[in-house]
């Protein structure tokens, strides 16, 4: 049940109860929903485990990371956690709405955001080749995220507010901006600490 539905029935949800009601929709997942949800979660959380694992591995071997490097996995954690909640509503409460166009916007976000991170990684050894593609893909991912948010607000204004979905979107966007901006700063500063960390890996 959403905030709008609760108000329509004459009662107000407490934030925690509203949150648990939203997340509880996961019980209505069909096998195909679990497959898509699990695949998507594995994709985004692999980024979290990769960034956090790399930074922690370097730190455990004495690498002195600049402060902003720690914000990369922190932003990634916020991004992934928020999407894990948001996607429950997408596959239950708003499944029909997404089929009208929002799902395609989500695909475009994925098609630009994922390669933008890959391009930033490739900038470590091939900066001249991948710098501009990284900038373009980051810009496009923000553009489609803004377009997606606009479509959500059209739905909110027409059918009522869903506070859980709204806040999950905000945290996801905040986490994405934090992650990618600090990652760009890391790249612009010459990927400080990366060479030192790579030297400790058991394989070269």
Q: Where are the domains of the chain?
A: 3-199
pTM of the model: 0.88
Q: What is the pLDDT of residue 55?
A: 98
Averaged pLDDT, 172-192:
97
pLDDT at position 87 over 50? yes
Q: What is the pLDDT of residue 13?
A: 58
Q: Where are the beta strands (DSSP E) in 11-120?
A: none
Q: What is the pLDDT of residue 7?
A: 47
Q: Give the Cα separation of 112 and 158 in Å (integer).
A: 29
Q: How confident is the model at residue 99 (pLDDT cuts 50, 70, 90)?
A: confident
Contact 202, 42 (CB under 8 A): no
Residues in the chain: 204
3-state secondary structure string, 78-99? HHHHHHHHHHHHHCCCCHHHHH
Residues 19-71: pLDDT tens digits?
999 999 999 999 999 999 999 999 999 999 999 999 999 999 999 999 999 99
Q: What is the pLDDT of residue 31?
A: 94
Q: What is the pLDDT of residue 10?
A: 44
Q: Give the Cα separation of 28 and 51 in Å (integer).
A: 33
């Amino acid at each position: 049940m959403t905030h709008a539905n609760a108000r329509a029935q004459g009662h107000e949800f407490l934030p925690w109860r509203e949150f648990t009601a939203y997340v509880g929709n996961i019980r209505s997942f069909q096998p195909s929903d679990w497959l898509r949800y699990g695949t998507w979660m594995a994709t985004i959380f692999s980024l979290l485990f990769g960034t956090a694992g790399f930074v922690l591995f370097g730190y455990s071997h004495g690498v002195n990371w600049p402060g902003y490097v720690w914000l990369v996995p922190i932003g990634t954690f916020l991004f992934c956690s928020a999407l894990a909640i948001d996607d429950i509503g997408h596959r239950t409460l708003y499944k029909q709405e997404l089929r009208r166009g929002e799902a395609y916007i989500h695909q475009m976000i994925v098609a630009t955001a994922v390669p933008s991170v890959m391009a930033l990684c490739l900038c470590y050894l091939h900066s001249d080749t991948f710098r501009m593609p990284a900038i373009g893909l980051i810009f496009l991912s923000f553009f489609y995220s803004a377009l997606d948010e606009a479509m959500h607000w059209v739905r909110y204004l027409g059918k009522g507010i869903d506070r859980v979905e709204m806040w999950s979107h905000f945290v996801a966007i905040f986490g994405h901006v934090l992650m990618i901006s600090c990652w760009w700063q890391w790249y612009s500063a010459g990927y400080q600490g990366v060479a030192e960390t790579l030297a400790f890996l058991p394989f070269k």
